[in-house]
């Protein structure tokens, strides 16, 4: 009988290694982690309403913080970061908050938040930081254009995202740390825009953040796409009244990773049940033939259907 516990430990170790390899191998050569200094941001009062004057004040504070970070990056000799920050500080860009430290924490608004009847909060996945922020903004901008007037998209980079070639990508640690900030932001946004239809859009590791933050959030929809799992066994375990949706592109490599969650001594490895499987219990929407980074690509099936969900409409081709 003695070998049995050792055999179980071996199986768990091998499965953990398989999950790690499945996540890391397809993305070898991903962007480096950011480590450029930046000043501490000015303290912000809670967002109490979305009146134009209130938003203008927040946007002005955000722009000042970006320009201060740009000056620090220039002095540090990181001209790529400085150029990215100068672009972010353009007068047409609108940031509810900005913190340039530790890779960056930003909350950018695309569209007119003052008059928005539909608000989508987009939570990104691994390796999203100030050096790679353009990918997140491009997707948010494409979605806002698809949604049209009376809709706003909030690109929420409110946490330190994992680096794809690190073990953080297979552990819920960073997601659990991010969840209080996401819950707080959603509560603040709900209080400031009480009549708007609010949706969470959770890409890749962002799905794990949403899974940790979901209980009790006052949102209409939680949309998981390109998801490795949520860290929960099923949609019911998210403890939310929101409709939970899941979609995966046919060419998304994340569908090939092992969908398992292995408890270890101080953490766990993997994120549990596949969100597009019947066992998870989400409403599955067609996401087309795209890959892991294609969900918000203009003209794609996935972008069309995600926009329909945000608008309170049934996705095209949905069967259950």
Return the structure tokens found at 284: 């599955």
In the predicted model, is pLDDT for residue 254 greater than 90? Answer: yes
Q: In which region does residue 215 sit, left (phi positive, over 0), alpha (psi from -120 to 50) or beta (all else)?
A: beta
pLDDT more than 90, % of the chain: 79
Per the model's pLDDT, the better-predicted residue between 15 and 169 turns out to be 169
Distance CA 119, CA 311 (A): 9
Residue 317, pLDDT score = 85
Quote the Cα angle for 243-245-246, to 5°: 160
Distance CA 164, CA 162 (A): 6
* Range picked from 10-24, 214-228, 253-267 for highest mean pLDDT: 214-228
pTM of the predicted model, to two decimals?
0.88
Residue 290, pLDDT score = 97
Residue 248, pLDDT score = 98
List the one residue out of 67, 96, 97, 101 whose CA is nearest residue 84: 67
CB neighbour burial string for 247-282, b if at least 16 within 10 angstroms, e if fewer? bbbeebebbebbbbbbeeeeebbbbbbbbbeeebbb
Distance CA 144, CA 157 (A): 17
Return the structure tokens found at 126: 């691994």
Helix, strand, coil percent content, the chain, rounded in steps of 5: 40, 15, 45
Residue 265, pLDDT score = 66
For 92-135, the pLDDT digits (tens) are 999 999 999 999 999 999 999 999 999 999 999 999 999 999 99
Residue 7, pLDDT score = 41
In the predicted model, is pLDDT for residue 19 greater than 90? Answer: no
Per the model's pLDDT, the better-predicted residue between 171 and 313 turns out to be 313
For 163-177, the pLDDT digits (tens) are 877 888 888 889 999
Distance CA 281, CA 320 (A): 10
Residue 156, pLDDT score = 98
For 230-243, the pLDDT digits (tens) are 999 999 999 999 99
In the predicted model, is pLDDT for residue 16 greater than 70? Answer: no
Residue 30, pLDDT score = 38
297 within 8 A of 249, measured Cβ to Cβ: no
Residue 12, pLDDT score = 43
Distance CA 42, CA 64 (A): 9
Q: Which residues contact 14 (CB under 8 A, 6 or more apart)?
A: none
Average pLDDT over residues 65-81: 96
In the predicted model, is pLDDT for residue 137 greater than 90? Answer: yes
Torsion of CA 194, 157, 260, 224, to 10 degrees: 40
Eight-state DSSP code of residue 132: T
The pLDDT mean for the chain works out to 89
Dump the DSSP string for 106-121: EEEEEE-GGG-SEEEE
Dump the DSSP string for 179-223: HHHHHHHHHHHHHHSTTSEEEEEEETTHHHHHHHH-TT---SEEE
Residue 96, pLDDT score = 98
Return the structure tokens found at 145: 């254009």
Per the model's pLDDT, the better-predicted residue between 257 and 305 turns out to be 305
Residue 262, pLDDT score = 77
Residue 171, pLDDT score = 84
Average pLDDT over residues 259-273: 77
């Amino acid at each position: 009988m003695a070998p049995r516990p050792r055999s179980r430990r071996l199986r768990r170790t091998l499965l953990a290694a398989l999950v790690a390899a499945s996540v890391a191998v397809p993305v070898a050569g991903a962007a480096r982690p950011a480590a450029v200094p930046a000043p501490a941001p000015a303290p912000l009062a809670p967002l109490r309403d979305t009146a134009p004057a209130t938003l203008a004040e927040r946007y002005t504070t955000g722009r000042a913080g970006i320009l201060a970070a740009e000056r620090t990056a220039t002095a540090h000799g990181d001209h790529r970061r400085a150029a990215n920050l100068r672009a972010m500080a353009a007068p047409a860009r609108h940031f509810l908050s900005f913190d340039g430290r530790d890779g960056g924490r930003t909350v950018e608004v695309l569209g007119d938040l003052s008059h928005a009847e539909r608000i989508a909060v987009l939570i990104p996945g691994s390796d999203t930081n100030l050096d790679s922020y353009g990918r997140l903004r491009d997707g948010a901008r494409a979605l806002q254009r698809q949604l049209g007037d009376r809709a706003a998209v909030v690109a929420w980079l409110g946490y330190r995202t994992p680096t794809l070639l690190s073990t953080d990508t297979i552990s819920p640690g960073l997601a659990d740390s991010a969840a209080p900030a996401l819950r707080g932001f959603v509560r603040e946004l709900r209080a400031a825009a009480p009549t708007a239809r609010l949706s969470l859009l959770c890409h890749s590791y962002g799905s794990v953040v949403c899974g940790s933050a979901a209980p009790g959030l006052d949102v209409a929809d939680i949309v998981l796409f390109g998801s490795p799992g949520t860290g929960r066994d099923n949609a019911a375990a998210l403890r939310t009244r929101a409709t939970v949706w899941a979609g995966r592109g046919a060419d998304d490599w994340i569908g090939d990773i092992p969908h398992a969650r292995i408890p270890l001594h101080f953490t766990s490895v993997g994120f549990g049940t596949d969100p597009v499987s019947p066992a998870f219990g989400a409403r599955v929407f067609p996401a087309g033939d795209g890959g892991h980074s294609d969900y918000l690509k203009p003209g794609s099936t996935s972008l069309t259907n995600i926009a329909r969900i945000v608008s309170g409409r049934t996705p095209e081709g949905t069967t259950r």
